[in-house]
Amino acid sequence: MAKQFASLDDRLRDFIARQHIFFTASAARDSRVNVSPRETLCLRIISPNAAIYLDRTGSGNETSAHMKADGRLTIMFCAVEGPPMILRLYGRGRIIHRETAEYRELLHAHYDDKEPLGARQIVRLDFDLVQTSCGFGVPLFSYEGERPSMDQWANAKGPDGIQEYWREKNVVSMDGLPTGLFDAESN
């Protein structure tokens, strides 16, 4: 049965640390709901009620558009190895753009100043509800490793190619909502 918590404790943080994938879910009024898989290597729990993840280039930028329009964000983890459990973090998200001092500070403090090619932004979730549930319906899988595809794609594109790709594919959502990816340029 589902249990609710106001914040993460050590047991729940340990569960998150053992996972290899998480999912983000977001939407804005009158938009499609977006659910995206993410690698946990990019995730950091920075307090009992806050998480960040380094968002790498994707075919779209739906989460960013939804954060700009609405801000609701859920992160979900589900055990595919070991004891079953699903854990969700519910709250408000926001985008931290690459050109900002906050981005550089977070990159320094939580990623050892290591920014993979294609890093697009940091997503921050401030959550006020943590919910666990049984996870009995989640199938068992064995982790084999991270795919090299993202790094290979980014290296083939190079910094200029990635910027071009962002301008072509990541400026508006599939529903036509602005993502704010280049808002700093207009300031």
Tokens 């996870």 correspond to 135
How much is the pLDDT for 184? Answer: 74
Structural domain that includes position 15? 3-137+145-186
Stretch 169-183: mean pLDDT: 95
What are the residues whose beta carbons fall under 8 Å from the beta carbon of 81, sequence distance 6 or more?
Answer: 18, 140, 141, 142, 143
DSSP 86-111: EEEEEEEEEEEETTSHHHHHHHHHHH
| Token pair listed for 152 | 């290979």
Alpha carbons 116 and 68: distance in angstroms, whole number = 24
CATH at 26 = 2.30.110.10
Q: What is the pLDDT of residues 44-86, one digit of tens each?
A: 999 999 999 999 999 999 999 999 999 999 999 999 999 999 9
Q: Where are the beta strands (DSSP E) in the chain?
A: 3-5, 21-26, 34-39, 43-47, 50-56, 72-78, 86-97, 119-133
Alpha carbons 62 and 70: distance in angstroms, whole number = 12
How much is the pLDDT for 185? Answer: 73
How much is the pLDDT for 186? Answer: 65
| Token pair listed for 83 | 């004891």
Q: What is the pLDDT of residues 92-102, one digit of tens each?
A: 999 999 999 99
Q: What is the pLDDT of residues 1-55, one digit of tens each?
A: 799 999 999 999 999 999 999 999 999 999 999 999 999 999 999 999 999 999 9
Q: Give me the half-sphere count of Cα atoms (radius 13 Å) on the Cβ side of residue 148.
A: 3
Output the CA torsion sign for 81, 54, 60, 163. Answer: negative
Number of domains composing the chain = 1
Q: What is the pLDDT of residues 143-171, one digit of tens each?
A: 999 999 999 999 999 999 999 999 999 99
73 class by beta-carbon count within 10 Å (0-12 exposed, 13-18 middle, 19+ buried): buried
Closest to 109 (Cα-Cα) out of 92, 96, 127: 96
pLDDT bucket at 187, cuts 50 / 70 / 90: low
Q: What is the pLDDT of residues 97-121, one digit of tens each?
A: 999 999 999 999 999 999 999 999 9
